Amino acid sequence: MQRLFPAFLAEPTDEQLLKDYAPPAGNHPFVRFNFVASIDGAATHGGLSGELGSPADKRVFSLLRRLADVILVGAGTIRAEGYEGELLDAADRAWRLRSGMPERPVLAIVSGRLDLDPDSELFTRNPGEILILTSATPDPVRAAALAQVAEVLRGPVPGTGESTAVDPRWIRTVLADRGHRMIHSEGGPRLLGAFQEADSIDSLCLTVAPLVAGGSAGRISSGLDGSPLRPLGLQLLCEEGGNLLAEYRRIPTNQ
């Protein structure tokens, strides 16, 4: 791998990349999304993102998990990709413990409909803490069943809009109130779309894989048309094997 921006560096070590991806100093919550896409913008191939991955993308994916207080994921991605079992390997968990962090980040799942099976391996094989962030008025039967296997947190009653929608601003606040600062989201597109609409993205990491996917796969973001453009500034750019690994961050308001 080579770092191209902000300054060239051949073969950055993991420790260097962890420094590059570290959130800024301070106590405010920092919300990061991480995605991979093909050159022509497909977020999936065959319904999953795995075929777009590469060793470089997987390396950064794991390093970003190391830094996370919370891994935040939409229920659609959970249903498509799994998320059962250990989410970090032993070396990553050991690094966290050495760094004074809890061994595992919390897994926080966003779901309005609560269409998640409490008997699935997501809950029976995941050794870490699982939070489910849902709307103010979820299906009571599903909420009660999931409360047996995870902590279910209900959002505030919305003033307007979809009753099953979970407000990203509440997600930020409720996680920050629990002492979680680095909120690391692995998507998916609808969750990113909601955070885009709410102007609640601090960092967006995107690997552009050197692949042309064609087909009708969706983009990394899916939301309402008409939402304002949200400018972000380039923070970091690395390259390996034709993969471009970029991080964009919120531009400070005083610039």
Where on the chain is the footprint of ligand NAP (CB under 6 A)?
A: 35-37, 43-44, 47-49, 74-77, 80-81, 110-113, 115, 164-166, 186-191, 194, 220, 222
Comparison of 108 and 194: residue with beta carbon closer to ligand NAP: 194
Taking the complex as a whole, how short is the minimal distance between the CB of residue 78 and ligand NAP, in angstroms?
Answer: 7
Query: Shortest Cβ distance from residue 155 to ligand NAP (Å)?
Result: 8
Q: Closer CB to ligand NAP, residue 163 or residue 251?
A: 163
Distance separating alpha carbons of residues 105 and 111, to the nearest angstrom: 19
Instruction: Give 88 or 208: the residue with its C-beta nearer to ligand NAP.
Output: 208
Residue 39 · residue 209 · CB < 8 Å = yes
CB-nearer residue toward ligand NAP: 128 or 223: 223
The nearest distance, CB 50 to ligand NAP, in angstroms, is 8
Say if residues 104 and 88 touch (Cβ distance below 8 Å): yes
Smallest distance from ligand NAP to CB 28, Å:
21
Q: Which residues of 136-159 are buried (b: 16+ CB within 10 A; e: fewer)?
A: eebbeebbebbeebbebbbbeebe
Measured from the CB atom, the residue of 97 and 144 that comes closer to ligand NAP is 144
Interatomic CA distance for residues 251 and 255, integer angstroms: 7
Query: Is residue 18 helix, strand or coil?
Result: helix
Smallest separation (angstroms) from ligand NAP to the CB of 249 = 18
What are phi and psi for residue 31, nearest 5 degrees? -105, 120
